[in-house]
Amino acid sequence: MSITPTRNDALAAQLDHAINNKTKPLGSLGVLEALAKQIGLIQNTRDIKLTRPAILVFAADHGVVAEGISAYPQDVTWQMVENFLARGAAINVLAAQNNCALRVIDAGVNHDFGPRDGLTDRKLAHGTRNFAQEPAMSRDLCQTALAAGMALASELEGNVVGFGEMGIGNTTAAAALMHKLTGIPVAQCVGAGTGMSAEGILHKQRVIEAAVAKHAGATEPLDILATFGGLEIAMMAGAMLKAAELRKVLLIDGFIVTSALLVAARMHPTILDYCVFAHCSDENGHKQMLAALDAKPLLNLGLRLGEGTGCALALPLLHAAVNFLNQMATFESAQVSEKSE
């Protein structure tokens, strides 16, 4: 795999000139200006456009739920997948509102759906093992999940891809990955997830701390992912890597999605050139995870739902960045006087 850095000094200068000559004070469109420039560098052109944006929602179950680390039973994973297929979830509403395609992927749900319209079956197992007792998956299974994600990204026709997830127990996996890959104390990585009490959060913290001690030998990114991750997280990381290799814009959602990116970025740091961070989640630890990636999120709405909802909400800002660069008049074309020296 080869992810090309987006740095291009000549193109960057062209984009800066185009942005600065619009009929506005310098820098007055703020983050939208940086976003337009980033999209131009990703697409390697001054003539930027967004085509067929899609959000991929990866679903899987986690064996660590046996440790009582979730406020909801594991069955909620497959029940929410059914809700996605019935178009009744928040991500369905928000994706449709923004004319964004939605693809639901069964990466490893502990339920047999059978052939279903709207469901992409890439099930590799009926969930992971309990990482409090043993590695969540083998190294080979983890690599298979990464490869499956890469194949999914290769199938996408558009140039913008958002990432979402569903999996009871996956905030515990994400917190363990965050701790192992950043060194941030477990207590600062663990949050309420689906709504745990203070006592439940402390229990989750202790489960992760004991698991980290048990699997102290997992130090490389792939081994960390195999030991503590989920099938949806691994498949998502693979899709991210391939999408970046294909020079697509990667729209990153919340805590769990960012944990998948954290793994991918440790494997191929250049992937970060392609990432637009949709929002800062209200899940404890996400702000520090973003800081570890030197990421600047577009939104801060107190979200902690997952599903890719932050991606759908941020998508209009990408359109705004593209449209102002393409459609806004320049001082010369509008015959507007520029700032006096």
| Residues marked as catalytic | 307
| Residue 317 to residues 3, 98, 297, 312, Cα–Cα distance (Å) | 25, 11, 12, 10
Cα 329 to chain centroid distance, Å, stands at: 34
Amino acid identity at 254? G
What whole-number distance in Å separates Cα of residue 333 and Cα of residue 273? 33
Could you tell me whether strands 54-60 and 101-108 are parallel, antiparallel, or unpaired per DSSP bridges? parallel
Handedness of CA 146, 150, 152, 156 (dihedral sign): positive
CB 324 within 8 A of CB 29: yes
Task: Reduce the secondary structure of 61-108 to three states and give it as a string.
Answer: CCHHHHHCCCCCCCHHHHHHHHHHHCCCCHHHHHHHHCCCEEEEEEEE
SS3 243: helix
Cα 72 to chain centroid distance, Å, stands at: 23
Return the DSSP state at 271.
Answer: G
Q: What residues form DSSP beta bridges with 129?
A: none
Amino acid identity at 300? N
What whole-number distance in Å separates Cα of residue 90 and Cα of residue 81? 12
